[in-house]
Amino acid sequence: QITLKESGPTLVKPTQTLTLTCTFSGFSLSTSGVGVGWIRQPPGKALEWLALIYWDDDKRYSPSLKSRLTITKDTSKNQVVLTMTNMDPVDTATYYCAHRPGSGPVDYWGQGTLVTVSS
Amino acid sequence: DIVMTQSPDSLAVSLGERATINCKSSQSVLYSSNNKNYLAWYQQKPGQPPKLLIYWASTRESGVPDRFSGSGSGTDFTLTISSLQAEDVAVYYCQQYYSTLGITFGQGTRLEIK
């Protein structure tokens, strides 16, 4: 079955760069059409899509955050990495990675990791 | 960006009664070549990731109770829970996955028991 798990720091300081890793199993990111994305959710607030990377290395970013985000994949390790620069307290959120099968909706989600931005 | 707007923001319904949540997209999410609406609904309970309920606007995900149904086309969509159960208390989100630029979510609708 498909599983995803996020890992990374729980606390970062303002202006620092956040690096999160999504380690997945049950599918391959070299399979045609498959994608992995990152979505975040500030405490008590709505879901916000951040980035997607596809099997062919096509990458998509949220227009409002594009300048701060980089998404990469390591197919051999079944991992996707998201970096976000210049972190601010408003970036405090639970960060989820998720599986997207081709042109369909995100269907499987990780449990999420809470990242707090504070000095 | 396709903007998704849900209504209402919160909703209180009696057990056994019908709950209806609306979602409007700023542009059509109907793809004419396959006649599919690229619209999904998710349920999120506290401390959990979202769970996919409905995709292609009206197709129930495997294992989702049939009291959940989705309808609509183009820019206007509805999630209906035909007979509210206690375990349906959650926040519900719509999501468009039509745009090649990326996906977007509605702001969420909080569903409670009256």
Residue B24, CA atoms < 13 Å, CB-side half-sphere: 5
The values of phi and psi at residue B98, to 5°, are -75, -40
pLDDT at A51 over 90: yes
Work out the pLDDT band at B1, boundaries 50, 70, 90. confident
**Distance between CA B44 and CA A112 in Å, rounded?**
13
pLDDT, position B19: 98
Using only the alpha carbons of chain B, give its radius of gyration.
13
What's the average model confidence in pLDDT over B42-71?
98
Between A106, A107, A109, which is nearest B103 by CB?
A106
Tell me whether B100 touches chain A (CB under 8 Å). yes
User: Are B55 and A61 inside 8 Å of each other by CB?
Assistant: no
pLDDT, position A31: 94
All residues at 6 or more sequence positions from B93 whose CB lies less than 8 Å from its CB, including other chains: A46, A47, B6, B41, B42, B44, B50, B105, B106, B108, B109
Give the pLDDT confidence of A4-18 residue by residue, as tens digits: 999 999 999 999 999
The whole-angstrom distance between A2's CA and the closest CA on chain B is 14
pLDDT, position A64: 94
